[in-house]
Structure 1
Amino acid sequence: MDTRWLSEDERHAWIRLAAVVELLPRELDAQLQRDEQLSHFDYFSLAMLSEAPARRLRLTALAAMTNATLPRLSRVMSRLEAEGWVQREPCPGDKRAVNLVLTEAGWEKVVHAAPGHVGTVRSLVIDVLTPEQIAQLSEVLDRVLAVLDPEQRVMASALRPSGT
């Protein structure tokens, strides 16, 4: 098999993408840890629950939305449950399934954490790009996600910008 080596332009783009993939999560975690004592994954899980109907999701649905394994998500939910931000309930239609419910305290945590998180996202990514570059970035990431997640299991794969 012949290796198709990266061109200099491709290598440049790849190295930069790899750096962003490594650096961005660290920065998001640092801000949320400093300001809210949350990891980015904690916040993202709470935020997904906050946007669900009745602030309730099956554990398996939240795992798919956050691209988490069930054991990882269960451990995180146990910790968030101990904080009083989430509670588990049996699923009425399936005795084997568990629903996660965002408590009022969990809602208040998300509302309190959101402005700082959005500010960090803006300062690190959004505000350094033009509107045209944001549209291009979205298109590029759609193409990459289509390869990485063809079944659209991760919520981001199924998202479409408003107006499309």
Structure 2
Amino acid sequence: MTNVYDFTVKLTNGHQKELSDYEGKPLIIVNTASKCGFTPQFKGLQELYDKYQDRGLEILGFPCDQFNNQEFDNIEDTTAFCQLNYGVKFPIFAKIDVNGENAHPLFTFLKEQKKGILSKNIKWNFTKFLVDSKGNVVERYAPTTDPSKIEEDLIKYFM
């Protein structure tokens, strides 16, 4: 795999989605959780999406239950929660693992491209990756990074 567009992910309805469908667009890829202290970041992510979607930005949310079981068991509960509480309109995909032997290959790739502090593993929910319009991972942001802080890099790289 040479870039993000080489991967396929699962939609909430169980169908597959090729990330090549997003080719030519900047992406923010984030592992999410509905019951996490960082969950309010959905609001900031949605604000970025609202502001830059017309310029091609896509945000891809991947629910993950690996950090203190902070995600609903049922994906329909997850999507409803995101829409009702934070007005999320960007795509939310099927629940995945981001670390370990069952980690989704997309997140294995993301971690290999941009390591975190001290290790490549994702430490918590809401680790965010910025991907350029060619499918290259250009930045990694810690769970504590507010989505508004990504805007400067969005402008620098893409807008």
TM over 0.5: no
Q: Which has the higher strand share?
A: 2
Higher RCO, Cα 8 Å, sep 6+: 2
Give TM-score scaled by structure 2 length. Answer: 0.30
Bigger Rg, which one: 1
Q: Select the structure that is richer in helix.
A: 1
TM-score normalised by structure 1 residue count: 0.30
